[in-house]
Chains A and B, each alone.
Chain A
Amino acid sequence: MSSHHISNNIKSLRFHADEMTQAELAEKVGATRQTINAIEAAKYSPSLELAFKIADAFGVGLEEVFQYRL
C-alpha cells in the first residue's frame, strides 16, 4: 500500500468536531475503529468512497482531510 505520500488531518478535524472519537467517526462512515486508526496513522490509504465519506462526516472538502505530495 503506497500510503507514504498521503497525509491527513483527521486527528485535528476530530478534535475540532467536538472531540469526536475514532469509534464515533468509524460508525459514521461505516468502517471499523481499527481502520480509522490505520488511516489516521497514514498506514492505510482508504478507497475514494471512504475518503469522501470521512470528508463528509466533518462537512469539509476532500482536500482539507487528505493531502498528497510527491
Chain B
Amino acid sequence: MSKQEIYAWTSLLSSAAILGFYGITVYGLPDNLANIESDLSSLFIKIFLFAFVIELAIGIFRGKDKVEKDERDELIAGKGYRNAYYLMGVLITLILSQLILGQIFEKAGLALNLINVIHVLVGTLFAASITNRATQIYFYQKM
C-alpha cells in the first residue's frame, strides 16, 4: 500500500469520524439510542485520533521508496475531486433551491431554517471529503 493510499484511508476515517461526531453533537440520537450517545461520541474521537496519529507517523517516517507520488496518484486524486465536486454541486443546488423555493418546500415539510442550512452545509463539506477519499480508495484497488 502506497503512502497516498494510506493517506486516503486515514482521511476517510477522520472525515467520517468528524461527520459522525458533528451529527451526534448537533442532532443527537433518537431517544431509544440515547444511552449509547456518549459511547459513540467517544468512539468517533478515538477513530479521529487514531487516523491523526497514523497520518503523523507516515509523515515523519520516510519509506524506502524514493518517489512518493506520481502520475497515477494524480489521476486518481483527480477522479476523487471530480466525484466530490459532483456531490457538492447536487447538494448545494438542493440547498439553494430550498432557499429560493421555500414555500414549495415548506408545504412538503422539507424547509430548513438558517441554522439547519449551516449544519447541512458543514455536513456537505465532510460528505464531499468522504466521497473524494472513497473514490480514491476504489480506484487504488481497481488500477
**Which 5 residue pairs of A and B lie closest in terms of their CB atoms, listed nearest first?**
A35-B72, A31-B70, A34-B2, A44-B143, A43-B143
A32 to B72, Cβ gap below 8 A?
A: yes
Query: How many residues of chain A are within 8 Å of chain B by beta carbon?
Result: 17
Bound state CA distance, A20 and B67, in angstroms? 17
Residues of B within 8 A of A (CB): 1-2, 4-5, 64-73, 142-143
Residues of A within 8 A of B (CB): 1, 3, 23, 26-27, 30-35, 38, 43-44, 46-47, 50
Bound state CA distance, A38 and B142, in angstroms? 9
B65 to A26, Cβ gap below 8 A?
A: yes
Q: Name the A residues within 8 Å of B65 (CB-CB).
A: 23, 26-27, 32-33
B13 → chain A closest CB, angstroms? 20
A35 to B66, Cβ gap below 8 A?
A: no
Q: Name the B residues within 8 Å of A44 (CB-CB).
A: 72, 143
